[in-house]
């Protein structure tokens, strides 16, 4: 039993997106519950990835491979977890705010959050406040993530938060923000719940916001 857990966490640590789904299936076949596979295998591997990244022993390209492997495993586990009524980390609605065409940083955070076990609704870039509001209504996410790359567009994050407030939805979600010109102080000023300075930090923050870290 512990052998399959160890193999799973190693596959995550090594960023092996081919092996991980196979090992997930093998674990399920051996009679483990989806929750056991997730908690004792995949999450253990991903936690170690976080530790090594912080220590400087792993770098972003490797962390992304691990996140990919995690996502490949979750593809199998998620429907089963939903079916069994297990508590999931929830959804994150992600978007780069209005006027800003930068897509990549936000996608990296999305991948990392997916690797951490969240489900991602990616709204793309140049996202109008209304589109965020409709997505909240439709998907009922736990978290809304916003990104801006430019000092000229970062204020749109504040406008979007205001619009969410005016739609009466602010209390239903946590909001976290990021992007090159953004810092903690700015995030506080516009009334965000959190600020992530890089992709792995963003995933860590998302977990904290839903009380899972």
Partner 1 sequence: MRGNYTVNSGVRFRMLTDDQLQELYDGVLHVLEYTGLEVHHEESLEILKKAGAWVDGNRVRIPSYLVRKSLELAPRSFTVFSRDGNPENNIHIGPGRAHFGPGPTCPNFIDVETMDRRPYIKSDVPNVAKVVDALPNVDFCESLGTVNDVHHDLGALYEFAGMFPNTSKPIVAWSYDKYDSAGIHEIAVAEAGGQKAFERRPNYIHYCEPLSPLVSTGEALDKLIFAAKHRIPLIFTPCPIAGGTAPVTAAGIIIQGAAESWMGLTIAQALQPGLPFIMGGVFSVMDMSSMILSYGAPELSLMMAGLTELAHFAGLPLWQTGGCTDSKTFDEQAIIEGSLSVYFSALTGGDLTHDVGYTESAMTGSVFQLTAMDEAIGYARRITRGIEVNEDTMAVDVINNVGPNGHYLREEHTRRHYKTEFWYPNICDRRNYEEWEEEGKKTMKDRTYARVQDILATHKPSPIKPETEKVIDKVLSEAEERVKNS
Nearer to partner 1, 111 or 173 (CB): 111
Residue 108 interacts with partner 1 (CB under 8 A)?
yes
Bridge partners for 9 per DSSP: none
Shortest spacing between CB 62 and partner 1, in angstroms: 7
Shortest spacing between CB 131 and partner 1, in angstroms: 19
Residue 184 interacts with partner 1 (CB under 8 A)?
yes
Q: Which residues make Cβ contacts (< 8 Å) with residue 192, sequence separation at least 6?
A: 146, 157, 161, 175, 176, 177
Contact pattern from residue 138 through residue 177 relative to partner 1, giving x for each residue in contact according to CB under 8 A and a dash for the rest: ----------------------------------------
Using alpha carbons, select from 147, 135, 140, 137 the residue that is nearest to residue 91: 140
Residue 213 interacts with partner 1 (CB under 8 A)?
no
Shortest spacing between CB 79 and partner 1, in angstroms: 25
Nearer to partner 1, 90 or 95 (CB): 95
Instruction: Tokens for 1, please give them.
Output: 């039993």
* Out of 9, 40, 96, 107, the residue judged to bind partner 1 by CB under 8 A: 107
Residue 198 interacts with partner 1 (CB under 8 A)?
yes
Q: Which residues bind partner 1 (CB under 8 A)?
A: 59-62, 64-65, 68, 101, 103-104, 107-108, 183-184, 197-198
């Amino acid at each position: 039993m512990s052998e399959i857990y160890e193999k799973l966490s190693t596959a995550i640590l090594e960023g092996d997106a081919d092996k991980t789904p196979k090992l997930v299936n093998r674990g399920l076949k051996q009679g483990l519950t989806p929750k056991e596979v997730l908690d004792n295998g995949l999450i253990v591997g991903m936690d170690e990835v976080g530790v090594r990244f912080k220590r400087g022993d792993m770098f972003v390209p490797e962390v992304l491979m691990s996140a990919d492997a995690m996502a490949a495993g979750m593809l199998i586990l998620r429907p089963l977890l939903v079916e069994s009524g297990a508590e999931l980390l929830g959804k994150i609605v992600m978007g780069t705010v209005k006027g800003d065409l930068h897509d990549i940083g936000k996608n990296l955070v999305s991948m990392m959050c997916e690797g951490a076990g969240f489900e991602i609704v990616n709204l793309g870039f140049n996202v109008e406040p209304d589109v965020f509001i409709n997505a909240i209504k439709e998907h009922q996410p736990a978290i809304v993530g916003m990104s801006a790359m430019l000092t000229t567009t970062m204020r749109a994050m504040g406008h979007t938060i205001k619009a969410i407030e005016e739609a009466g939805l602010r209390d239903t979600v946590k909001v976290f923000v990021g992007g090159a010109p953004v810092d903690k102080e700015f995030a506080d000023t516009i009334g965000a719940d959190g600020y992530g300075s890089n992709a792995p930090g963003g995933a860590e923050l998302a977990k904290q916001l839903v009380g899972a870290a």
